[in-house]
Amino acid sequence: MEILHVSAECYPVAKAGGLGDVVGALPKYQNKAGHIAKVVMPMYRTKFLYNNNWSVDYKGSAYLGNYHFEFTIIKETTNKLGFDLYLVDINGLLDREKIYGYDDDTDRFVAFQIAVVSWLSSWQHQPDIVHCHDHHAGLIPFMLKHCLAFKHLQHIVTIFTIHNAQYQGWMGWDKSVLLPEWDSWKSGQLDWNNTINPLASAVKCAWKVTTVSQSYMNELKHNSNGLEALFEYEKGKCIGILNGIDTEVWDTATDAMIQHHYKPATVTAGKQKNKNILCEQFGLNKEVPLIVFIGRLVGEKAADILPDSITVSLNNLKHQVSFLLLGSGEPHVEWQLGDMNGKYPGYYHIEIGYNETLSHQMYAGADFLLMPSRVEPCGLNQMYAMRYGTVPMVRSTGGLQDTVMDMGETDGFGIRFNNASVSDIHYSVSRALSVYKDDKHMQKMRQHMMQIDHSWEKTVNDYTTLYESVKRQ
Ligand code: ADP
């Protein structure tokens, strides 16, 4: 099958979170399974753009409301990522340094989607599947079905994957002029609560909808930032497919970003060496368990309760545990966590910012990874942690619940808790501390986790089955 993935992110071209990881890996493994999978995404001004070679695949023009814009589709020439990668260059709109965060993001991503569909309509043939990811590609199922200029594309199967339903791409109806003309009877397919809602529109218009874990799929019917009724209504076309992880990128035996390589048999010594380097770098005590947090400092990740939780644990378990954090996000959380730097010398440090290399070193050097997330559609960090022999401490929600088994259960290997609260986190830190003292138990859990299969092969099969089920309809 020929599958075209449409996404705002794709690792290593541009990544802000899990979406990038998934779109950077799934197509590669689909190709290995015999499909022809391609990715199209915006052309941002990233390192990857300047360090690779490109050829022009297509030049076109389109309207964004009254604004006539020209776009170019460029293609990476060496198949470096294991799939054909296309970037959409729209001068002045997409070619910026950051992926998101501009006042005109609505215009940017609407223009991106119009360019993708216009390009698609120039193809000599049609792909079997257009697979759209998150709200930045959420208007494409509507455009293919209902926009007059693209009527000839209406039989292309669209699949929509929700990596995060908190962000929906809302825009007022005044922005409707940006869209190519559509069958006005179909306006309801764009609307949710009197706004244009690209995520809701995709749920209505795509042939099938997936989320990145089964538990998250179930949760969306009760908690999806206003779309609960829609998910209940559309449940017949929605399924959960758990993400895999790229085991070629995330491999402790070969990872070029970590200083000491190790395997399950050598995990204890290998980890300690990586931990020593981290601790020296950030002035932390090497002898106590190192608990890390890596991620966006936002409410979904419960980052707002980290300052109090960590303070309580550091005060109650004086000189027995240390914390190392990496992340960026809401300014007041950054400020609070940043302000704690230097207050617990040897036992606490935060690096504010995004640092891919450091994140790998932290997965390799840490003893535990804390994820108290309020919402976690799949969560990749806990899977990377497990693959690196780091014990996950997670709240029982979404994909965390589907991938981590508490160490109290037979063959369990992690720590689970129910509430995103200071007391639950502190209790989990105490549990971490006591298991850390039991060398045998730690070694057993580490080795077990490192050998769990999180590879993409199963996920690819699940997507293939889904694609085939739609094509048979
Ligand atoms: P989300 O997509 O909600 O942010 P996921 O768990 O699905 O969360 O994916 C997060 C990904 O982003 C992981 O690869 C994680 O290592 C990475 N990541 C998050 N924040 C940072 C950071 N500050 N520096 C480096 N990597 C980060």
For a pLDDT cut of 90, what percent of the chain falls above it? Answer: 98
If you measure from the C-alpha of residue 20 to the centroid of ligand 1, how many angstroms do you get, rounded to a whole number? 9
Which residue is closest in CA terms to ligand 1's atom 5? 18
Residues contacting 156, CB < 8 A, separation 6+: 120, 126, 127, 128, 129, 130, 144
The whole-number pLDDT of residue 472 equals: 62
If you measure from the C-alpha of residue 287 to the centroid of ligand 1, how many angstroms do you get, rounded to a whole number? 27
Is the pLDDT score of 202 beyond 80? yes
If you measure from the C-alpha of residue 372 to the centroid of ligand 1, how many angstroms do you get, rounded to a whole number? 14
17 Cβ below 6 A of ligand 1: yes
Is the pLDDT score of 353 beyond 80? yes
The reply to whether omega before 12 is within 30° of 0 (cis) is: yes
Distance between CA atoms of residues 237 and 210, nearest Å? 8
Q: Can you tell me the mean pLDDT for 246-263? A: 96
Is the pLDDT score of 277 beyond 90? yes
pLDDT tens digits, 59-93: 999 999 999 999 999 999 999 999 999 999 999 99
Q: Can you tell me the mean pLDDT for 255-265? A: 98
The whole-number pLDDT of residue 392 equals: 98
Phi/psi-derived region of residue 431, left when phi > 0, alpha when psi is between -120 and 50, beta in every other case: alpha
Q: Contact 369/390 with Cβ under 8 angstroms?
A: yes
Q: CATH 3.40.50.2000 residue ranges in the chain?
A: 2-244+457-471, 264-453
Candidate from 212, 292, 381, 403 with most ligand 1 atoms within 8 A of CB, to mutate? 381
Q: Return the ligand 1 atom nearest residue 164 CA.
A: 3
355 Cβ below 6 A of ligand 1: yes
Q: Contact 316/425 with Cβ under 8 angstroms?
A: no
The whole-number pLDDT of residue 184 equals: 93
Distance between CA atoms of residues 154 and 132, nearest Å? 15
Distance between CA atoms of residues 78 and 67, nearest Å? 34
If you measure from the C-alpha of residue 168 to the centroid of ligand 1, how many angstroms do you get, rounded to a whole number? 19
If you measure from the C-alpha of residue 195 to the centroid of ligand 1, how many angstroms do you get, rounded to a whole number? 30
397 Cβ below 6 A of ligand 1: no
Is the pLDDT score of 473 beyond 80? no
Q: Return the ligand 1 atom nearest residue 351 CA.
A: 23
Q: Can you tell me the mean pLDDT for 121-137? A: 97
Which amino acid is present at 252? T
Which residue is closest in CA terms to ligand 1's atom 18? 295
For a pLDDT cut of 70, what percent of the chain falls above it? Answer: 100
Which amino acid is present at 29? Y
Report CA 82 to chain centroid distance, whole Å. Answer: 19
pLDDT tens digits, 152-191: 999 999 999 999 999 999 999 999 999 999 999 999 999 9
Which residue is closest in CA terms to ligand 1's atom 15? 381
Average pLDDT, the chain: 97
**Fold of domain 2-244+457-471:** Rossmann fold (3.40.50)
The whole-number pLDDT of residue 67 equals: 96
Task: Name the residue with tokens 């690792």.
Answer: 11
Q: Return the ligand 1 atom nearest residue 353 CA.
A: 23
If you measure from the C-alpha of residue 14 to the centroid of ligand 1, how many angstroms do you get, rounded to a whole number? 12
Distance between CA atoms of residues 382 and 386, nearest Å? 6
295 Cβ below 6 A of ligand 1: yes
Q: Return the ligand 1 atom nearest residue 21 CA.
A: 14
Q: What three-state secondary structure class fits 21?
A: helix
Q: Return the ligand 1 atom nearest residue 19 CA.
A: 2
Q: Can you tell me the mean pLDDT for 185-198? A: 98
In CATH terms, is domain 264-453 a member of 3.40.50.2000? Answer: yes
359 Cβ below 6 A of ligand 1: yes
Residues contacting 162, CB < 8 A, separation 6+: 134, 199, 203, 209, 210, 211, 212, 220, 377
Q: Return the ligand 1 atom nearest residue 16 CA.
A: 12
Does the pTM of the predicted model rise above 0.85? yes
If you measure from the C-alpha of residue 363 to the centroid of ligand 1, how many angstroms do you get, rounded to a whole number? 12
Q: Return the ligand 1 atom nearest residue 381 CA.
A: 6
- Banded pLDDT at 343 (limits 50, 70, 90): very high
If you measure from the C-alpha of residue 189 to the centroid of ligand 1, how many angstroms do you get, rounded to a whole number? 32
